[in-house]
Amino acid sequence: MAAKFIAVASVLAASQGVWAFTPGRATTTEISWRISQIKVGDACHPEGDWILGEKEEDELIPPCISEQIISWSCEEIIGLSRAKKNETKMIAYRDCLFGVNGSYWRDLEGCLKCKLDNHLHTPDEDTFWNHTFDKAAEFFTNQKPAPIQGFWDALVNVTDFSAYPPVSKGPTRSNGTKFKISDYYRNSPPDRQDVGKFSLDGQDYPKDWSLSATPDQDNQQIGRRDEAVGVKGAKVVRATIRAIDDTVINISADSFSGTD
């Protein structure tokens, strides 16, 4: 079977990156390493500076952006790359994503609806990703007493990427197209787009993210992370490239069972 590549980074990225980051707030450019730079400015990822928290209906954060800020915030607060054997931190990580009053799941569903309505996903792709995220969420949240991996790794473990449907899209809508987020995000949270309720190291979350200091833009490292999944034969190979200022600092790949 010829290699088939899936731009998984445009749907959900894993682990931590090399951007300086303040949990609870980010610009679209700052999350570009999680979604692929090419997505910045499209109909579902308009450029802007975004802060989680209480929102009026006309102030909704585009859900494709809020779900990335939430997932990145949870990874940073927990220190996910170093916390996978720490039961207390992994419980907090699960609650951060899926806990009381959190909007992550609604935002994720709203993001998929945006991509469908704006022809960034075909109907078959939409069905694939909705089924994939449902299955991954069930697997992740049912790990007891605590998850043993990040949500993206849980998704990879339960997904057969060789079943990804053919890609054939219609014309896409650009960021310049005038439409309201509420036109497609009809299941938006009633009060706020934010992390779920949890406590860690004596601090309660969520908090007022508007009071958080922003990173020093002059001193931060500008990082990029690209990830793709390829299917070849009976193996699915995931490759990750991390770079700073266009200098590649790490290339890694791993494989897991797949089918033709």
Tell me the pLDDT tens digit for each residue of 106-163: 999 999 999 999 889 999 999 999 999 999 999 999 999 999 999 999 999 999 999 9
Q: pLDDT class for 177, splitting at 50, 70, 90?
A: low
Q: Mapping DSSP to helix (H, G, I), strand (E, B) and coil, where does residue 41 land?
A: coil
Tell me the pLDDT tens digit for each residue of 94-121: 999 999 999 999 999 999 999 999 889 9
Are the C-beta atoms of 32 and 243 separated by less than 8 Å?
A: no
pLDDT attached to residue 4: 40
Domain boundaries, the chain: 19-208+217-222
pLDDT attached to residue 169: 63
Q: Judging by DSSP bridges, how do beta strands 25-27 and 198-200 pair with one another? A: unpaired
pLDDT attached to residue 22: 86
Q: Which residues contact 204 (CB under 8 A, 6 or more apart)?
A: 197, 198
Q: How many angstroms separate the CA atoms of 64 and 109, rounded?
A: 9
The mean pLDDT value for 169-175 works out to: 61
Q: How many angstroms separate the CA atoms of 122 and 118, rounded?
A: 9
Alpha-helix runs per DSSP H in the chain:
32-35, 63-78, 80-83, 87-98, 104-117, 123-141, 151-158, 181-184
Mean pLDDT over each residue of the chain, to the nearest integer: 77
Candidate from 44-53, 89-98, 167-176 with smallest mean pLDDT:
167-176
Candidate from 26-30, 39-43, 48-52, 175-179 with smallest mean pLDDT:
175-179
* pTM, full prediction: 0.76
Tell me the pLDDT tens digit for each residue of 181-237: 989 999 999 889 999 999 999 999 999 888 765 444 433 443 444 444 444 443 444
pLDDT attached to residue 57: 64
